[in-house]
Structure 1
Amino acid sequence: MNLKWLLVRRITLVALACFAAGSLIAVYRTSSLAYRQNADLAQSVAQQLDLQLLRIATALDLPKRFPDWDLVTSYALQPGQCVQLLRPDASVLKSSCTGFDSVSNPTPRWFVDAFTFLIGGEVLASRPVSYRGTQQGAVVASFNPLAIATETWRTIAPLFGFSAMLVAMLCLVTYFVIDRALRPTEEILKGLNRLARGDLSARLPPFRLTEIDRISEVFNSLAGDLEIASSDRTELARLLVDAQERERRHIARELHDEIAQKLSALSALAACIRIAAQSDAKELEGEARELEHMASSLMIALRKTLTYLRPQEIDDLGLLPSLQGLVAGHNKDAGGRTRYTIEARGDVEELNSETRAHVYRIIQEALNNAAKHARAHHVNVTLNQHSNAGGKKVELAITDDGIGPSADVEHPQYAGSGLIGMRERVLALSGSLNAGPLTDGGFRLRIEFPAHQQEGAV
């Protein structure tokens, strides 16, 4: 939930709770006042009746005039109030009540029911009437609950409209006040979102509030530290991976210049021995042929090793012909089960040697994994160099129509050390890597990096 609406809702609930508490206080005060009025009335009537019994006992009054209810009716009863004289057996001897106006200001039924529930029924007070230790009855004064509820409603009803208007104004004012107070949080969220997307140059402006300004200072400090650490990490990754490629290139050259030449000479010498043995030493012809076969096998193995270490055609022919040869090799190995294609746009040959090697290795790893795991009918490689506001960029995408990943399981094609190696090379290229399933099935690996890379130090 939005923080502003959450705070407004809670403030509204507090206002409504205060209004409810005020209403309960009004109910309590009204019921307390009714009880006191009943108690005073019952006490006064009981005293008058006790005095009449005393006059009867002293022959100042006649017993048949008891109770003299005319004296009781002279009391001013409140609307809805009743006073009764009960015999000792609780039967009613005398009773007097007044009505109340429930038409001019009708009370909602729900309020009457709630009021009756809160006060627990009738509000009444009782006082005994006795003479010389003998109880002659009891005076009971009571209020009709509807009368008290009506009186309470007359007090509370005008406040309902005023309270509703007050709560609405309070919500409106609170929303704008909170919106203004929390406006800096929008800047903070924007900065966090930029940071989450990898934009380590994101910075927050200073704020007037001390606490939020402190957040801005800490955010900017952390973003600066992350930017420096990321830059150092990128540079270190570039140096390490470039050094690895240079070392591979050096080893490949050494193997090609030394071992390959000697194996070629060994193969030629074995062929000469075999030819000579055919006429001079028949018994050595088989050994010579075996030696020639071993030399040829070693040459084939060496060529595979050299291709793994550093494809010679990258330097001799260029990146694009090397990739076309890589794709052709996969098509040959697939035997028609999977079709591999490559599309290239822009001048990708202007990239330096280390960058070309990284691109080749990334595509090589992706195609190997697709061949092993994707079970695709078609795997397409697109390599595009384009220009935008940030300069020249290289965009690389490997897309397959294979099994694709499930919603909660990482695609096996890009799991494990293969993806780690790709990420290291992309980091060395100062680029970004995104891998994910396609809506219509399959999977796509997308990489983007700056086209102009500095040559690594030898």
Structure 2
Amino acid sequence: MRLVLQLVARLFIVVTLCLGAATIWATIDAYRSVDRATAASAERVSVALEALYWRELMLRSSRMREQLVPVPEWRTIQTMSLISPGICVRIEPAGAFEGPLCGQSKGIGQTPPLWFAAAVHTLLGSHAPVVRPISTRAVNAGSVSAAPDPDSAIALAWQHVLDNINLALLMAVAIALLASLAIAHTLAPAQQIVTALQRMARGQYRPSLPRFRSMELAMIGQAVGDLGDRLAQSMEERAALTRRLLEIRSDERRALARELHDEFGQNLTAILAFANTIEAADAQTQHQNKGEIAEDARMISQATHRIMASLRDALNRLRHPPAEELGLEACLVDLVDSWRSRNATQPMIQLDLKGDLADVRGTVAATAYRVAQECLTNSLRHSSAREIVLRIERRTGTENALLVHVEDDGGGDAARVAASSGFGLTGIRERITALGGSLSIADANRGVSVAATIPLAA
């Protein structure tokens, strides 16, 4: 899952928990607000009735009366306006058949579900009535008792919860949306870091990264840049070591070829001359073992010819290809012609040259020649190919590289070829890597395809 989605999901969980906590708090506060409304109603009614009590007392001019309760005119609209909705008020002592005076409870809220009413009543309990004296100076004046209607109190709490939930949901959606935009904007530079890492995987070890405002992203970008610098330095050192190794190997091959030619070749030539001399001398002499000596001389001569042929092949492989001196195009044509002369019937070798190859010489030409030579050798020796296509293409422009592509229809396995640890394939890999190129081995339609890219700047 993407990091932005993970952060948004976690933010949603946090908002949901906060919304649940807010709902619980709103329920408790709404339920307790009924107690506050009850106390306020009792206080307002007691103050109003105290004024009514002293007015009646003054009008009757009887201060010595032991008990004076306000006349029934206290149950008026003015008194009703002092009582909060859902609160019932009564006077103590109450008159005969006198019921409580209740505030308007219709439309106070929606009917709550049964589970909500049961949960609130179980967890928060019932409301206690509130009693206020009509007058603190006259104890016998009576008292005001206010108590909330249970159904109205539950309905009021449920309506309060609904109002808070709607507001909280609106705020939660707004917070989640704005926070998601902020998180996405903050993490947007991470895609640039991922792109830089992908370029590093393709060989561009020094990617350019912008400055990040976030300290954490800036630290990651700095670490990626340092890693790229170290990788580039390591690859340069590796390429230099590989080039040096190839130079040493080439020097050793030339020295070995020189020693073989000077020592081994001259001695074989001498042996061949001695064999010819023996055979010629035997023809002029009369000897009973004359035929045996001549046969031995001929066997020595034949063995010497075979050894000299093998020596010439070894010298051709040890020496640098003539591509370094004669040019790549001519050497490739000669290479294909030599293979065609050895295999007159099949496979058919097709040479396709694209671009100007006249000025391709030196190490690049030698490497391209070695790649073509090794791929042709493997296709001819290790597969039953009927057709082999050798394509050499010079690409100009930004690529400025030489492409060597060999494809056969021998039905080989590209994965097995790529995993091979043979000296030939390992050698061309080292040569191409030393020049900063790349080698790919893939399955073709009916065989294996090998493609090498060699930068001409090398």
TM class by smaller structure? 0.5 to 0.7
1:201 aligns with 2:206: yes
1:400 corresponds to: 408
Q: Cα gap change, 1:331/1:168 in structure 2, threshold over 3 Å: closer, same or farther?
A: farther
2:50 corresponds to: none
1:4 corresponds to: 4
Q: Over residues 233-286 of structure 1, what are the superposed CA-to-partner deviations in whole Å (9 max), with x where a residue is unaligned?
A: 111111211331233234224433543354345334423432342342444101
Deviates more, 1:426-435 or 1:320-329: 320-329
Residues of 1 paired with 2:434 and 2:268: CA distance? 36
User: Is residue 386–residue 393 contact of structure 1 (8 Å, CA) maintained in 2?
Assistant: yes
2:21 corresponds to: 21
1:292 corresponds to: 301
**1:377 shift after superposition:** 4.5
Q: Over residues 101-140 of structure 1, what are the superposed CA-to-partner deviations in whole Å (9 max), with x where a residue is unaligned?
A: 8999656xxx837637856989987xxxxxxxxxxxxxxx
Residues of 1 paired with 2:114 and 2:442: CA distance? 63
Residues of 2 paired with 1:149 and 1:267: CA distance? 123
2:175 corresponds to: 170
Q: Over residues 58-110 of structure 1, what are the superposed CA-to-partner deviations in whole Å (9 max), with x where a residue is unaligned?
A: xxxxxxxxxxxxxxxxxx9x9799xxxxxxxxxxxxxxxx9x98999656xxx
Query: Matched residue of 2:396: which SS?
Result: strand
1:341 corresponds to: 350
Query: Matched residue of 1:244: which SS?
Result: helix
1:85 corresponds to: none
Residues of 1 paired with 2:412 and 2:115: CA distance? 63
Query: Matched residue of 1:275: which SS?
Result: helix
Q: Cα gap change, 1:2/1:288 in structure 2, threshold over 3 Å: closer, same or farther?
A: same
**1:298 shift after superposition:** 0.7
State TM-score, norm by structure 1: 0.67
1:428 corresponds to: 434
Q: Over residues 268-318 of structure 1, what are the superposed CA-to-partner deviations in whole Å (9 max), with x where a residue is unaligned?
A: 442343234234244410111011011111112112212332366546754
> Paired residues, what number?
377
Unaligned runs of 5+ residues in structure 2 are: 38-82, 89-101, 127-147
User: Is residue 325–residue 361 contact of structure 2 (8 Å, CA) maintained in 1?
Assistant: no
**1:399 shift after superposition:** 2.6
Query: Matched residue of 1:350: which SS?
Result: coil
1:366 aligns with 2:378: no
Q: Over residues 361-380 of structure 1, what are the superposed CA-to-partner deviations in whole Å (9 max), with x where a residue is unaligned?
A: 32333334444655554432
Higher-Rg structure is 2
1:388 aligns with 2:370: no
Residues of 2 paired with 1:116 and 1:367: CA distance? 89
User: Is residue 245–residue 357 contact of structure 1 (8 Å, CA) maintained in 2?
Assistant: no
Q: Cα gap change, 1:19/1:240 in structure 2, threshold over 3 Å: closer, same or farther?
A: same
User: Is residue 327–residue 359 contact of structure 2 (8 Å, CA) maintained in 1?
Assistant: no
Letter of the 1:416 counterpart: S
Residues of 1 paired with 2:3 and 2:274: CA distance? 85
1:115 corresponds to: 116
Residues of 2 paired with 1:80 and 1:373: CA distance? 101
2:418 corresponds to: 414
**1:336 shift after superposition:** 5.6
Query: Matched residue of 1:12: which SS?
Result: helix
**1:331 shift after superposition:** 5.8
Residues of 1 paired with 2:108 and 2:22: CA distance? 25
Deviates more, 1:264-273 or 1:297-306: 264-273
1:87-98 equivalences in 2 (<5 Å): none
User: Is residue 374–residue 404 contact of structure 1 (8 Å, CA) maintained in 2?
Assistant: yes
Residues of 1 paired with 2:334 and 2:204: CA distance? 37
* RMSD of aligned residue pairs (Cα, Å): 4.3
User: Is residue 323–residue 361 contact of structure 2 (8 Å, CA) maintained in 1?
Assistant: no
Residues of 2 paired with 1:153 and 1:249: CA distance? 98
Residues of 2 paired with 1:215 and 1:142: CA distance? 64
Letter of the 2:304 counterpart: A
Q: Cα gap change, 1:160/1:367 in structure 2, threshold over 3 Å: closer, same or farther?
A: farther
2:94 corresponds to: none
Among candidates 178, 196, 203, match of residue 191 of structure 1: 196
Q: Over residues 161-185 of structure 1, what are the superposed CA-to-partner deviations in whole Å (9 max), with x where a residue is unaligned?
A: 4333323322332233223322432
**1:385 shift after superposition:** 1.6
Unaligned runs of 5+ residues in structure 1 are: 38-75, 82-97, 126-140, 454-458
2:318 corresponds to: 309
**1:19 shift after superposition:** 0.9
User: Is residue 358–residue 425 contact of structure 1 (8 Å, CA) maintained in 2?
Assistant: yes
User: Is residue 270–residue 292 contact of structure 1 (8 Å, CA) maintained in 2?
Assistant: yes
Q: Cα gap change, 1:282/1:443 in structure 2, threshold over 3 Å: closer, same or farther?
A: closer
- Aligned-residue identity in percent: 26
**1:229 shift after superposition:** 1.9
**1:232 shift after superposition:** 1.6
Residues of 1 paired with 2:122 and 2:194: CA distance? 57
Query: Matched residue of 1:208: which SS?
Result: coil
1:210 corresponds to: 215
**1:31 shift after superposition:** 7.0
**1:205 shift after superposition:** 3.2
User: Is residue 30–residue 160 contact of structure 2 (8 Å, CA) maintained in 1?
Assistant: no
Residues of 2 paired with 1:179 and 1:375: CA distance? 57
**1:199 shift after superposition:** 0.3
